[in-house]
Amino acid sequence: MTAERAAKNLPRILVVDAELPIRRFLHTTLSREEFYLYEAENGHAGLAAAVAVRPNMILLGLGLPDLDGLEFIKQFREWSQVPIIVLSERQREDDKVSALDSGADDYLTKPFGISELLARIRAVLRRSLQQIPESLFSCNDLKIDFDRRLVLVNSEEIHLTPIEYDILCLLAAHADRVVTHHQLLMQIWGSVTPEHAHILRVNISNLRRKIEANTSHPRHIITVTGVGYRLKTRGDRNGDEIR
């Protein structure tokens, strides 16, 4: 895939499948259809790739060598709602129900026709695009322009590090809802370790210094003790503890 095509902001699809012929077939076929393809041959590599490349969709084979496909879905759904289409030889209704109940968005049985696969991909992407937030987030003195990667406080541009920006955007995408420590760690760093937990606290502290008028009584980033953080746009802080 050329840098020129990558720059066209094509939809990114991550293929997680143990079968090399399937990965090659999907890579060749979907690349012609204006998708940007990434591949992983097992579950753990797929989870790591999902963190690194931020795909718009995952095509998942259930027969992974290290991690059952259903377990992959459950782990992935702990921190991301990116759509998943399962591609599997398993044809029993129970298998399909289990995959969908675990968090898959669609299920296609191998062998499948490329036209049907493309139709399923387009349908799932349409649904997911309808859930994308507006390109501009605004709350009191805080504004985030996602398209331009700008953060403004009182109409003045605030310079954030890439990690700080990613954390703020993740909180904004779930405004007024708690984003757990686990979700933040997995989405930003791809792992839950004491080191990353400490780095998260440091970044939250730095963010508050940059966007809050008073870090001792923050208006925007609220700590929900023992759970995570919430980007507040309305209501009060009953039940929340600031620290």
Average pLDDT, the chain: 85
Q: If pLDDT is split at 50, 70 and 90, which confidence band does 200 have? A: very high
Same domain, 121 and 91: yes
DSSP 226-239: TTEEEE--SS--TT
Same domain, 161 and 182: yes
Token pair 């931020």 is found at: 54
One domain, residues 193 and 97: no
pLDDT of residue 203: 93
pLDDT at 175: 84
- Average pLDDT, stretch 164-184? 87
Residue 237 counted as domain residue: no
Q: Please give the average per-residue pLDDT across 25-41, as a whole number.
A: 92
Rg (CA), the chain: 20
pLDDT tens per residue, range 51-105: 778 899 999 999 999 988 999 998 888 778 889 999 998 888 888 999 999 999 9
Give yes or no for residue 149 having a pLDDT over 90: no
Q: Which two three-digit tokens encode residue 28?
A: 């060749």
- Count helices and strands (H / E) in the chain: 9, 12
158 and 93 together in one domain = no
Q: State whether 84 and 148 are in the same domain.
A: no
- For the residues 5-10, what does the mean pLDDT come to? 56
- In CATH, what number is assigned to the domain containing residue 50? 3.40.50.2300
Is it the case that residue 216 has pLDDT exceeding 80? yes
Do residues 7 and 125 both lie within one domain? yes
User: Domain residues for 106?
Assistant: 3-129
| Domain at 151, CATH number | 1.10.10.10
**Ramachandran category for residue 186: left, alpha or beta (phi over 0 → left; psi -120 to 50 → alpha):** alpha
**Selection from 13, 22, 43 nearest residue 88 by Cα:** 22
pLDDT grade for 130, boundaries at 50, 70 and 90? low
Q: Are residues 65 and 181 in the same domain?
A: no
Dist. CA 224–CA 49, nearest whole Å:
30
Residue type, 21: P
Cα–Cα dist 24/134, whole Å? 36
The reply to whether 31 and 111 lie within a common domain is yes
Mean pLDDT lowest for which of 8-17, 102-111, 233-242? 233-242
* DSSP state letter for 52: H
Q: Report if residue 238 sits inside a domain.
A: no
Same domain for 116 and 146? no
CA-angle at 81, arms to 102 and 158, nearest 5°: 155
**217 and 116 inside one domain:** no
pLDDT of 42 > 90? The answer is: yes
Residue 125 has pLDDT above 90, yes or no: no
